[in-house]
Amino acid sequence: MPNSSSISEFLLLALADTRQLQLLHFWLLLGIYLAALLGNGLISTAVACDHRLHTPMYFFLLNLALLDLGCISTTLPKAMANALWDTRTISYAGCAAQVFFIFFLFSTEYSILTIMAYDRYVA
């Protein structure tokens, strides 16, 4: 008889074991998430609305803010949901998607930071 076991989900380590600390982690992560959304949203709005900021450096800053929104929106909502609902699992497909998006977004972010540094060096 062949072995037909397969992995459908991964177990995650909890940030805390007590319910009060899990709720505290949820509220802290929510505050961090909202602060990142507000800050990057303000940068995006300022660069998009002011015509004087339509230069290459601010174009890269707008893209950097959007990439930062993508990075923080990849993992933090799942961490908040796990803390709020006291769950410790993530599906295999969800884990693979998070790893792919984090790798893609961080590598793109580093590339844009390198381009911004080179742009400042040339200027």
Q: Which residues of 59-91 are buried (b: 16+ CB within 10 A; e: fewer)?
A: ebbbbbbbbbbbbbebeeeebbebbeeeeeebe
pLDDT digits (tens, 9 = 90+) for 35-61: 999 999 999 999 999 999 988 888 999
pLDDT digits (tens, 9 = 90+) for 54-95: 888 889 999 999 999 999 999 999 989 988 888 888 888 899
As a whole number, mean pLDDT of residues 12-24 equals: 83
- The pTM of the full predicted model, rounded to 2 decimals, is 0.82
As a whole number, mean pLDDT of residues 9-33 equals: 87
